[in-house]
């Protein structure tokens, strides 16, 4: 049963990638070089996001997309693995912060590796539509979701 649920959420993440074309950029969270801890400016951005989420009825229909970009082809294989690990860790730090501070909405993370630029910022985007899991499940039967 657990593997089916995991598979559903994996498919839901792919659905979110295709469906979130009209997103609203809410800001970005910066990180120091070789660090997974966000800076003070990033902390302020996250606090503003929480305040907006708690005070706006518009945020009940949608999900938060956490997007991080880096050039996967930069450096040797060890550096590429390190950069991927660091990107994942940065996303987890933001998710942990938002969860501890009471953000109750759905979150989807995406790491984009096919980019030419190197930034140390995680972009926060609001996708104003159904959550990815409900998009995938809407209009389907139980047999459609079986693997």
| CATH (domain of 36) | 3.30.1330.60
Count up the domains in the chain and report the number. 2
Q: What is the pLDDT of residues 59-110, one digit of tens each?
A: 568 899 999 998 877 889 999 899 999 999 999 999 999 999 999 889 999 9
pLDDT above 90 for 39: yes
Whether pLDDT at 122 is above 80: yes
pLDDT recorded at residue 54: 83
**How high is the pLDDT of residue 35?**
95
% of the chain exceeding 70 in pLDDT: 72
Q: Are residues 82 and 139 in the same domain?
A: no
- Name the band, by pLDDT with cuts 50, 70 and 90, for residue 47: very high
Residue-number span of the structural domain to which 140 is assigned = 1-20+132-147
CB count in 10 Å sphere of residue 19: 17
Which pair of tokens denotes residue 49? 């996001």
pTM for the full model? Answer: 0.72
For residues 3 and 34, membership in a common domain is answered with: no
Query: In angstroms, rounded to a whole number, what is the distance separating the alpha carbons of residues 3 and 128?
Result: 29
Query: What pLDDT was estimated at residue 70?
Result: 86
């Amino acid at each position: 049963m657990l593997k089916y649920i995991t598979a559903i959420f994996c498919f839901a993440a792919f659905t979110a990638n295709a469906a979130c074309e009209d997103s609203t950029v809410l800001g970005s969270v910066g990180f120091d070089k070789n660090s997974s801890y966000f800076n003070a400016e990033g902390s302020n951005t996250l606090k503003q996001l929480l305040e907006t989420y708690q005070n706006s009825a518009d945020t009940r229909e949608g999900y938060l997309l956490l997007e991080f970009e880096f050039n996967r082809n930069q450096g040797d294989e060890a550096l590429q693995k390190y950069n991927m690990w660091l990107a994942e860790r940065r996303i987890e730090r933001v998710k942990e912060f938002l969860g501890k501070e009471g953000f109750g909405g759905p979150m989807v993370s995406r790491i984009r590796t096919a980019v030419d630029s190197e930034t140390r910022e995680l972009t926060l985007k609001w996708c104003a539509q159904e959550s990815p899991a409900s998009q995938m499940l809407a209009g389907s039967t139980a047999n459609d979701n079986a693997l």
